[in-house]
């Protein structure tokens, strides 16, 4: 593989929405998880800690995903409303996972939240890709 081929591969890979979403989501979730750990270790209940970190992460996620991941140029108002809907659904799923596995079953909140991140992020990506930030020329369903 030549240097030019390597650059072409990286450029092609960089065009992947999944990769860009993963990068933004990974950094955002790493920061959010760090805050979640700090809050829970300080004695805050897991659902309250998740609420705080989720709200903070949503602001970062909207700006980064609209401008970087999906490079959306459509209506900011419509995409913001849809973004909030998708993320509220993700938040509800996250809280349900914590309530079931931490509050009812008694599993470790730090471990459960790691698994919840993967499940919720997958659903949020699909919602963003196919509804929130879809191409401007796509008619609403």
Please list, residue by residue across 60-74, b when 16 or more beta carbons sit within 10 angstroms of its beta carbon and e when fewer do. ebbebbbeebbebeb
Give me the chain's average pLDDT, please.
87
> What pLDDT score was predicted for residue 4?
63
Structural element, H or E, at residue 29: helix 17-41
Angle at 127 between CA 132 and CA 125, to 5 degrees: 110
Average pLDDT over residues 67-94: 92
Q: Calculate mean pLDDT across residues 66-81.
A: 91
- Indicate if the pLDDT at residue 136 is higher than 60: no
Q: Do 136 and 73 form a contact (C-beta atoms < 8 A)?
A: yes
Q: Taking residues 65-79, what's their average pLDDT?
A: 91
Confidence of residue 54 (pLDDT cuts 50, 70, 90): confident
Rounded to an integer, the average pLDDT of 83-88 is 94
CA atoms lying within 13 Å on the CB side of residue 66: 19
Stretch 59-79: mean pLDDT, rounded?
90
Gap between the Cα atoms of 110 and 23, Å rounded = 22
Summarised one tens digit per residue, pLDDT across range 10-32 is: 677 667 888 888 899 889 988 88
b/e sequence 6-22, b meaning 16+ C-beta within 10 Å: eeeeeeeeeeeeeebbe
Query: Given a cut of 80, is residue 96 above it in pLDDT?
Result: yes
Cα separation of the two ends of the chain: 44
């Amino acid at each position: 593989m030549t240097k030019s081929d390597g650059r072409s591969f990286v450029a092609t890979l960089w065009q992947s929405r999944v990769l860009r979403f993963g990068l933004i989501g990974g950094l955002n979730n790493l920061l959010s998880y760090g805050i979640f750990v700090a809050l829970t270790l300080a004695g805050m209940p897991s659902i309250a800690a998740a609420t705080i970190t989720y709200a903070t992460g949503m602001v970062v996620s909207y700006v980064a995903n609209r401008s970087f991941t999906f490079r959306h140029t459509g209506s900011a108002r419509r995409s913001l409303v849809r973004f909030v809907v998708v993320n509220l659904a993700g938040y509800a799923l996250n809280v349900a996972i914590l309530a079931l596995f931490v509050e009812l079953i008694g599993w470790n909140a730090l471990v459960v939240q790691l698994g919840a991140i993967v499940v919720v992020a997958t659903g949020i990506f699909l919602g963003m890709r196919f509804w929130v930030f879809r191409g401007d020329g796509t008619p609403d369903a």
